[in-house]
Chain A
Amino acid sequence: MTCLELFDYLDRYHAGTLSRLEAEAVEQHLLGCAECAADFRFQRSLKGKTAALANEIAPAHELWPGIRDQIRGISTTVATARPAWLRTPWLIAATIVLMGLSSGVTALLTRTGNLQPDGGSRDFQSTEVGYRQAADELLRTLQAHRKELGESAFRVIEQNLHIIDQAIQETQAALASDPRNQQVTELLWASYEKKIDLLQRAAHSVES
């Protein structure tokens, strides 16, 4: 499924009207495409905001320009989504790795908006486990190519992974004391996504 094809499915995905196979195809694409995943989360949060509005009361005048602009923003992105020729076999392979670990990550992509750690939510935990497994798998793959990457480049990656891991620890600590904070939850997922993106890019750089 390409980014453009995904766009056709997203509305129906949010509405829950896709077949199981179609929904899985959407989820698999989102697992391998950080940009579409970011747009997906944005649409989902937008849906949450609009759903929270009362039906009988006309929304405040200044609310609509924001929503309209955000929607325009989405369509701009999709209309100019990264073309297929820019994608590489290695990234597809990395995506397959992620797909193989999809049980937890799929939960993330499909339910991020409601995922919070309060009460030891199984979805939250499985999502985090999914991210960790995906990152560990990519890191193992990268370590196998350490020589091709070169020591200094590997050190740069390690240093940046350390920065991301610190950010993850800080958000986790914040969530431990404020488990219902959706914004911090989203920042946590964003940090995990940056970690996976960095590892994917590092892997991409050793691809010949």
Chain B
Amino acid sequence: MSSLRWLSLALAVLALPGASAQAQATGQRVERKLAIDPDASIRIYNLNGSVRVEGWDRDTISVVATIGDPLKNRFFFGGGVHGAKMGIESPMELDQAPAHLIVKVPTRARLWIKAATASIDLSGLEGGVDVSSTSGNIRFEGNPDQLNLETMDGSIEVTATGPWIRTKTASGAITLRGQGEDVGATTVSGDINLLSTGMRRLRMETVSGRLNFSGSLARDGALTAESHSGPVDLLLAADLSAEFDLTTYQGTITNGFAPERRPTRQGEGQELHITVDTGTANVTVRTFKGPIILRKK
């Protein structure tokens, strides 16, 4: 071997640790693209860091991944025209260094995302979306065909119009804005805030969180709220025509919507069954001891 080749090899060996350290500090950037069907199924897996997915009007999936520690983590990507999957692999999953994925997918793609602490930000999507996280925050904006978002103690923030929307947390707060046909929000101790511009059928459930509804219902809409100890506060459009069926076993009912109608006492609790206008919509509330408050917008 010539002395020049030995010198090159020695320089390369000397440079290696430095290069690795630099990759760790700044992250390794990887880009991938793939032609894909407009309604392809896409799976994304990234435990820590962030995932941002944007719908675009192209039959292509594009990914930019920034991997925090390329020595420990590996970006994987594969698939064909009908579907693709990608994510961050780590031999020790819990120790996965934060990685950041920016993904562009056809708007009608069906999306499945799994995370642990990674924050998830989704926009411009119109297909089915299913997200499961442990403690990451989830934000969604779009008009999905199906939307299912679950996190334990992260928060969920949705602005959407669609036929089927479900959101669930344990202690995380849920904020939902829009005009869903069939909307469900469930927590154990997290608060739920629903800002409706004409939702048709919605159900809010909690054990101890606050349930807040504000806005209008579809003319034939149905709002159901169920809580054990969390307060239920409904701020309703003044022109709402609805039948109200409210019951609390040990709590109180404050009727600021039709104040001339007072709740009746039922054991330790209260009931209120009234029809306002012709009663085309339905409002049903059940609590064990959480107070129920009706207000007019």
Interface residues in chain A, defined as those with a beta carbon under 8 Å from any beta carbon in chain B: 35, 38, 62, 65-66, 68-70, 72-73, 76-77, 80-83, 85-86, 147-150, 152-153, 156-157, 159-160, 163-164, 167, 170-171, 174, 178, 181, 183-184, 186-187, 190-191, 194, 197-198, 201-202, 204-205, 208
B110 touches A183 (CB 8 A): no
A183 touches B135 (CB 8 A): no
Q: Which residues of B contact A178 (CB under 8 A)?
A: 267
A171 touches B201 (CB 8 A): no
Q: Which residues of A contact B159 (CB under 8 A)?
A: none
Closest chain A residue to B287, Cβ basis: A187
Complex: how many Å from CA A183 to CA B288?
9
- Whether A73 touches B228, Cβ cut-off 8 Å, given contacts A65-B243, A83-B128, A167-B207, is no
Interface residues in chain B, defined as those with a beta carbon under 8 Å from any beta carbon in chain A: 41, 45, 93-94, 110, 112, 114, 116, 128, 130, 132-135, 146, 148, 150, 152-153, 163-164, 166, 168, 170-171, 181-182, 184, 186, 188-189, 200-201, 203, 205, 207-208, 220-222, 226, 228-229, 243, 247, 249-250, 267, 275, 278-282, 286, 288-289
Q: Which of B114, B181, B186, B280 contacts A65 (CB 8 A)?
A: B280
B279 touches A66 (CB 8 A): yes
Closest chain A residue to B45, Cβ basis: A208
Complex: how many Å from CA A152 to CA B93?
15
Q: Which residues of B contact A167 (CB under 8 A)?
A: 207-208, 228-229, 288
B148 touches A198 (CB 8 A): no
Closest chain B residue to A67, Cβ basis: B282
- Whether A148 touches B163, Cβ cut-off 8 Å, given contacts A66-B279, A76-B201, is no
- Whether A65 touches B278, Cβ cut-off 8 Å, given contacts A85-B41, A86-B128, is yes
Complex: how many Å from CA A76 to CA B180?
11
Q: Which residues of A contact B171 (CB under 8 A)?
A: 156, 159-160
**What are 13 A-B residue pairs whose CB atoms fall within 8 Å in the complex?**
A65-B278, A70-B222, A76-B182, A153-B135, A163-B188, A163-B207, A171-B228, A187-B288, A190-B205, A191-B228, A194-B188, A201-B168, A205-B152
B152 touches A202 (CB 8 A): yes
New A-B contacts (13) at CB < 8 Å, excluding given A80-B146, A190-B226, A205-B134: A62-B279, A65-B279, A66-B243, A66-B282, A73-B282, A86-B112, A150-B116, A153-B135, A156-B171, A167-B288, A171-B228, A201-B150, A208-B93
Q: Which residues of B contact A80 (CB under 8 A)?
A: 146, 163-164, 181-182
Complex: how many Å from CA A149 to CA B116?
9
Complex: how many Å from CA A53 to CA B168?
37
Q: Which residues of A contact B226 (CB under 8 A)?
A: 187, 190
A126 CB, nearest partner CB in chain B, Å: 23
A163 touches B208 (CB 8 A): yes
Q: Which residues of B contact A159 (CB under 8 A)?
A: 171, 189
Closest chain A residue to B221, Cβ basis: A69
B108 CB, nearest partner CB in chain A, Å: 14
Q: Which residues of B contact A65 (CB under 8 A)?
A: 243, 278-280
A49 CB, nearest partner CB in chain B, Å: 10
Closest chain A residue to B135, Cβ basis: A153
Interface centre among A65, A159, A184 (most CB of B within 10 A): A65
B201 touches A194 (CB 8 A): no
B170 touches A156 (CB 8 A): yes
Q: Which residues of A contact B228 (CB under 8 A)?
A: 167, 170-171, 187, 191
